[in-house]
Amino acid sequence: MTIDKDKMLEYCNQFSKNTLMETLNIEFIDAGEGFLVAKMPVNSSVHQPMGLLHGGASVALAESVGSAASHFFINDKNQEVRGIEISANHLKSIREGFVIGTARIIHKGRSLHLWEIKITDEAGNLVSLCKLTNMVLTKEKQ
């Protein structure tokens, strides 16, 4: 599979309009064979009450980047992707700046995709480690 990085990023950023990804200011910033990268600002809009990045916001970033990445392994004319399981280990707290989510494919089957998503701070420190399973479905005829 040949990757056109610019087209992938444009596609991902366009389909994020008017969604949770836009609300969280998630921006897709890099792509290649078997991986996709997005960043999200850390500020009060994604804080929990103690002023730290909310674990749910980290999971939203992970599922967003992993689900978007699965789109590049399907025929979107007759298939669609659904996240069916996600797990996250939060390892480091962060109060401000950006977090970067990098999804890498672990297993690419016909009906299931398994992704590892590492969320790091701007210095490259691991903030959260996530695993996402996506199911590939056949679109229903309309």
Active-site positions read: 63
Q: 17-23: list long-range contacts, CB under 8 Å, 24+ apart.
A: 20/60, 20/64, 21/64
How buried is residue 73: exposed, middle or buried, by Cβ count under 10 Å (0-12/13-18/19+)?
Answer: middle
d(CA 119, CA 62): 7
Backbone angles phi, psi at 8, to 5 degrees: -60, -50
C-beta neighbour count of 139 within 10 angstroms: 11
